[in-house]
Structure 1
Amino acid sequence: MADSDTPDTPDDTPRLLPDAIHQAVRPGTALLRLETTHAREGILDGAWWPRSRDIGAELPSLVTALTEYLGPVTRIGLDASAWEELPTRLTVDDRIVHIDSFPVGDGTVLITRGDRDYFSLLVVPPDTTPDAARAAMARAVRADNVAEAEQILIEISTDAAGPPA
């Protein structure tokens, strides 16, 4: 639903995060777009920009933040090749979170609560520049985003490289 004070934006023009939020996005940040309906329109439900590839150091803070909004997280699906070491489970806030290795790609993490309710987050590589990471995260949380994580990451790496010389 459009706000009458907000100018219409063409579908291909990215809607940026408000300036205060955009500037606050740093490594270790997770942005979520949570919908209370079963029909989620976008491919991704949010984005996460870990500080490193050390899942034992990075995952607990993500699970704690997600639990605050989603309720208990029971499983995390990750691509083992994207992380330094991938245990089969972690204890976070006195709860066991099972970790599954799926060929979901470097750019996605699957979060499960309950038996069937899952959320898909874009994973921004830790070495991404702040502007590129912010752009990728803003794109991932757009309700009308139809690009998969891999495509978003390709586009931000292309944008960061600039036009060919």
Structure 2
Amino acid sequence: MVTATRRSTVVPPSAPSIPRLRLAPVRASGAVLDGGWWPRSWDPADELPGLVMALSERYGRIRNVIANSGVWDDQFRRIAVGSDVVRVGWFTSLDTAMLIATTERGDQIDLLVVPPETTKAVADRAMRTAADPANLKRARDILLATPTPVPASTGAGRHLNAVRDDEGNVLEKAS
């Protein structure tokens, strides 16, 4: 886990992958989330470009992304995505199960982040809930309601099915 945020713009070493993403069919004013995303790893240089491109196609140019600094393998301030440079903010205060993207027009897109090691069935169910325009559950509550049958932690010491406080500390583990 990296503790310092790199100031240089990161240029991903490979072409963006197609993100495992489910977005609400319409943006509902009462919905808590706009959809769910299931990254394949905790490497933001590998995962963010495909996500940003998919969100840009749907909502317009993405100018920045905000994520929790406690779960991702690397931190940097900017990433090259196609011909754009997207700013990236890392915060311990953001729920580990959330990612926020902001468009050039200032629209905010709130996404559930399903841990990469989650099984397909559980991830699909969680993303479907997050993308439901009638959903009123927060990201953390969706993950608690769809516990994942995977080992409690990875080699990096992350608790995949844990609920964390705003500082990234494990509060409880979902069963």
Q: TM-score over 0.5 for the alignment? A: yes
SS in 1 for 2:140: helix
Correspondence 1:66 to 2:55: yes
Kindly state the Cα deviation for residue 105 of structure 1 after the two structures are TM-superposed: 1.3
Residues 93-152 of structure 1, C-alpha deviations (whole Å, 9 max, x = no match): 110100011221111000101253111000000000111001100110111111100011
Correspondence 1:151 to 2:141: yes
- 1:53 corresponding residue in structure 2: 42
Kindly state the Cα deviation for residue 34 of structure 1 after the two structures are TM-superposed: 5.0
Please give the residue correspondences for 1:84-95 in structure 2 after superposition, counting only pairs within 5 Å.
84-95=73-84
Q: CA-atom RMSD, angstroms?
A: 1.8
If you compute each CA radius of gyration, which structure gives the higher value, 1 or 2? 1
Correspondence 1:35 to 2:35: no
Q: Measure the CA separation in 2 of the matches of 1:154 and 1:44.
A: 16
Amino acid at match of 1:35: V
Q: Measure the CA separation in 2 of the matches of 1:35 and 1:144.
A: 10
Q: 1:82 to 1:126 in 2, by over 3 A?
A: same
Q: Measure the CA separation in 2 of the matches of 1:131 and 1:110.
A: 24
- 1:8 corresponding residue in structure 2: none
5+ residue gaps, structure 2: 1-17, 151-175
Q: Measure the CA separation in 2 of the matches of 1:53 and 1:97.
A: 18
TM-score, normalization by structure 2: 0.71
Q: Measure the CA separation in 2 of the matches of 1:130 and 1:115.
A: 34
Structure 1 stretch displaced more, 142-151 or 27-36: 27-36
Residues 11-37 of structure 1, C-alpha deviations (whole Å, 9 max, x = no match): xxxxxxxxxxxxxxxx9411111535x
* Percentage identity across paired residues of the two chains: 33
Please give the residue correspondences for 1:1-165 in structure 2 after superposition, counting only pairs within 5 Å.
28-33=19-24, 35=26, 40-102=29-91, 103-114=93-104, 116-157=106-147, 160=149
Moved over 4 A (4+): none
